DNA sequence: TTGTCTAACTGAACAAAATTCAAATATCCA
DNA sequence: TGGATATTTGAATTTTGTTCAGTTAGACAA
């Protein structure tokens, strides 16, 4: 057995998909060469970053989902902490925000324990002064896809 | 001019894409029929919800992004408010959460004004008692894709 | 309005990729 | 060990994507 499933999941998280031109053409009742032309234009404008898969995260062992609010110590304001945290594969989304908190992360793991490991290892060292974890009870919609 | 671009964006937000079996096969150095078999298996298990596009949201006029924490009045706890809010096309993600707040939403609009319209129209009526808007300064990663 | 330039659209030929399927191999478990 | 089930694979087939030259539509200045 080649255990291809985890490799597919890895690839599909960030890309390795492509538009279904024929299906779009038939849905919009336009020639496929017209659809092709318009998609290439969108891609060349840089409007499309990736074609990728969205999962049922329970079924790929990432059923535990949290949002984490993070505060950064002032002397780290000019360092790319958010960018560093974004590189963790468990981080689905990351953004810097205005107000009481500095960064918001969305993190998916198998369970609480794995999240706690990440919290200890990656969210407490560096310039992080404070965190607030919002634990997801029910994931309803992610990236415009209903779960 | 047929104005196909917005229609493509609509379709791509939720699907109308498909795996690149040949490219995956060559990346993983496996026969494409093997890759095909394993992908179909993932799909049949329900592990994959959709194949879709991720955008440069500035370039599709959705450059304003917020996270909103929402509180629900107790008499609405048994109603599907989160599900209702999820149906708004501007809502990228929605989840019910544990703790001080009941729901977290991620919303993309063209600008502050359009977000304010949604806040007034959809987030204040119904059973919503309180909201806290966290405005994104810099979107770093969304759905595992770097922006 | 007319003419000119550029962008958008399209059909048809072609190239590439997905899908199917039957046979071979591996895995599971009683 | 044996028999049922799941996975892998190459080759044939079907479907889809891509290219490109010709056409149409839109923008804009005279």
Give the DSSP letter of residue B63.
-
pTM for the structure as a whole: 0.94
Q: Measured between CB atoms, which of B4, B93, B96 is closest to A138?
A: B96
CA dihedral B20, B22, B25, B26 (to 10 degrees): -110
pLDDT, position A52: 98
The β-bridge partners of A134 are: A67
Q: Measured between CB atoms, which of A42, A101, A139 is closest to B8?
A: A42
Judge if the beta carbon of A16 is closer than 7 A to nucleic acid strand C. no
How far does the CA of B41 sit from the C1' of D5, in Å?
15
pLDDT in tens, A119-138: 999 888 778 999 999 999 99
Judge if the beta carbon of B36 is closer than 7 A to nucleic acid strand D. yes
How many angstroms separate the first and last alpha carbons of chain A?
30
Enumerate domains of chain A plus CATH numbers. Answer: 5-45 (no CATH), 57-146 (3.30.70.920)
The β-bridge partners of A138 are: B96
Mean of the pLDDT values across residues A105-124?
94
pLDDT in tens, A31-86: 999 999 999 999 999 999 999 999 999 999 999 999 999 999 999 988 999 999 99
Phi and psi at residue B26, in whole multiples of 5°?
-75, -35
Give the DSSP letter of residue B43.
H
The per-residue DSSP string of A26-83 comes to HHHT--HHHHHHHHHHHHHHT-EEEEEEEE-GGGGT--EEEEEEEEE-GGGTTS-HHH
């Amino acid at each position: 057995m080649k255990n291809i499933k985890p490799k597919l999941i890895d690839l599909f998280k960030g890309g390795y998909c492509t538009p279904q031109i024929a299906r779009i053409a038939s849905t919009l009742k336009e020639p496929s060469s017209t659809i092709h032309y318009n998609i290439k234009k969108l891609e060349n404008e840089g409007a499309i970053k990736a074609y990728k898969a969205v999962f049922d995260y329970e079924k790929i062992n990432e059923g535990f989902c949290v949002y984490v609010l993070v505060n950064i110590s002032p002397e780290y304001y000019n360092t790319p902490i958010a960018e560093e945290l974004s590189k963790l594969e468990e981080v689905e989304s990351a953004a810097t925000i205005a107000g009481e908190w500095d960064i918001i992360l969305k993190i998916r793991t198998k369970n609480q324990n794995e999240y706690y490991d990440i919290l200890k290892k990656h969210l407490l060292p560096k310039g992080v002064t404070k965190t607030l974890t919002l634990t997801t009870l029910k994931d309803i919609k992610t990236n415009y896809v209903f779960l």
